[in-house]
Structure 1
Amino acid sequence: MNDLSATFWEARYQSDTARWDLGQPAPPFVSLLASPAAPPPGRMIVLGMGRGHDALLFAQHGFEVTGVDFAPSAIAAAQASATARGLSLTTLQQDIFDLGEPLARQFDYVLEHTCFCAIALEQRPAYVRLVHQLLKPTGELIALFWAHSMPGGPPFGTTPEEIRSLFTPYFVVDHLDPVTNSVASRANQEYLARFTKRTA
């Protein structure tokens, strides 16, 4: 099994081999926030936020954002970017799977982008339960899933069918749509999701 510990991810940042880092917010999130379907600002947690490009995009649009990562270099980079841009960002250097009970039902939104594909496959059901636990009643998951078919990982691939199967017991699948403005290396492989928490 791959070593997916904090030490592994920190080494990737230190060696500048964090290839999942786009150096900018994901274009589908930019488009969403500029559209009539943009979610209203609220309290958001970003899981595995990396250097914080997506977290800061939502902060810029009025969201109260908490970003979580267990790589100290990623946290430091996100904090530095927030300070430089005059944006408010709360950061937690922590394993996401330790968040559940302390932060249960505290967020209007969970933002997902390249965290789901970075965790071990056997952790995916626990990830879904974590997202459900973090959200307030009727809270929403906003996600950009990378549904590639490359062997191995991380990043680990998925399919729209797997996503629906994992999330449907806990969420209403409002949208799971292919996007047309992914970065070139992920073209035709990404799905923008908006799932509402089930409360019964």
Structure 2
Amino acid sequence: MDPGETMRQNSALPEFWETRYLSGVTPWDSSQCPPEVLDYIGRQAPGLPTLVPGCGSAVEVAHMVTRGLKVLAVDFSDAAVKAACEQLGTLSEGRVVMRDFFALEEDVPYEWVYERAFLCALPPALWPDYAAKMARLVSPQGCLAGYFFLAETPKGPPFGTSLGELQALLGEWFTLETSRSVHSVSPIFQGREFWQVWRRRKE
């Protein structure tokens, strides 16, 4: 396999996602905002600092902005960011940026980090780094809340995990408050996606 092809097969690299967005192969994306997100957004106070990592086309961001949340949506794929900007129009201005999640500044912690098909998109070797970064980005008593892919799929993406593995991954910093199976708006996750709310413990 040539080096270029190797890069296109590594989901830790932007090139992997560029190829998929440019070719229109994005089965994880949906034009619908899931009901659990709409409910969660509706219970948040305006101005809530909110981060959407690996935002893709960022369909949920419009609802967050309409509610008045202070949103930053990031993706390290240029094609994904362009898709999000096209989807959101003027709502994307100052809110959707091309940025590497692992290089994000940590000086202003977020009250809510929205997880949707981001962890399962990362190679499992990067999951400990994901957990440690989330612990630094989420403010004390803030939440990592969203959808987690619980399935026996070691090959991915999407890379599946289990509730026990998530507890081992996040339990050092977070307490699991909610975990329930949901009807996914994305067929590839159907029957294997769970809405979870992880509360960041105080230091």
Q: Provide the residue aligned with 2:49 in structure 1.
A: 43
Identify which of 20, 28, 33 aligns with 2:28: 20
1:60–1:87: 8 Å Cα contact kept in structure 2?
no
Task: Give the CA deviation at 1:50.
Answer: 0.3
Task: Give the CA deviation at 1:24.
Answer: 2.4
2:32–2:185: 8 Å Cα contact kept in structure 1?
no
Distance 1:19 1:89 in 2: 27
Identify which of 55, 67, 77 aligns with 2:73: 67
**What percentage of aligned pairs have identical amino acids?**
26
Deviates more, 1:1-10 or 1:113-122: 1-10
Q: Provide the residue aligned with 2:144 in structure 1.
A: 141
Q: Is residue 184 of structure 2 the alignment partner of residue 182 of structure 1?
A: yes
Structure 2 spans left out of the alignment, 5+ residues: 1-5
Counterparts in 2 of 1:159 and 1:191: CA distance versus 1, 3 Å: same
Task: Give the CA deviation at 1:104.
Answer: 3.6
CA displacement, residues 88-114 of structure 1 (integer Å, 9 cap, x when unaligned)? 651221221111xx2344311101100
SS in 2 for 1:117: helix
SS in 1 for 2:119: coil
**What TM-score results when the alignment is normalised by the length of structure 1?**
0.87
Q: Provide the residue aligned with 1:53 in structure 2.
A: 59
SS in 1 for 2:84: helix
Task: Give the CA deviation at 1:87.
Answer: 6.6
1:25–1:53: 8 Å Cα contact kept in structure 2?
yes
After TM superposition, list the pairs within 5 Å mapping 1:158-169 onto structure 2: 158-169=161-172
Q: Provide the residue aligned with 1:119 in structure 2.
A: 122
Q: Is residue 94 of structure 2 the alignment partner of residue 92 of structure 1?
A: no
Q: Provide the residue aligned with 2:175 in structure 1.
A: 172
Distance 2:166 2:44 in 1: 21
Q: Is residue 5 of structure 2 the alignment partner of residue 3 of structure 1?
A: no
Task: Give the CA deviation at 1:13.
Answer: 0.1
Task: Give the CA deviation at 1:31.
Answer: 4.2
Q: Provide the residue aligned with 2:85 in structure 1.
A: 79
CA displacement, residues 149-198 of structure 1 (integer Å, 9 cap, x when unaligned)? 2351011011112112211111121112222x323723321111111112
Q: What is the RMSD of the two structures over their aligned residues, measured on CA atoms?
A: 2.1
2:112–2:142: 8 Å Cα contact kept in structure 1?
yes
Say which structure is richer in helix: 2
Partner amino acid for 1:97?
F
Distance 2:146 2:172 in 1: 17
CA displacement, residues 39-84 of structure 1 (integer Å, 9 cap, x when unaligned)? 3340101010001112222222221110010111111121232225
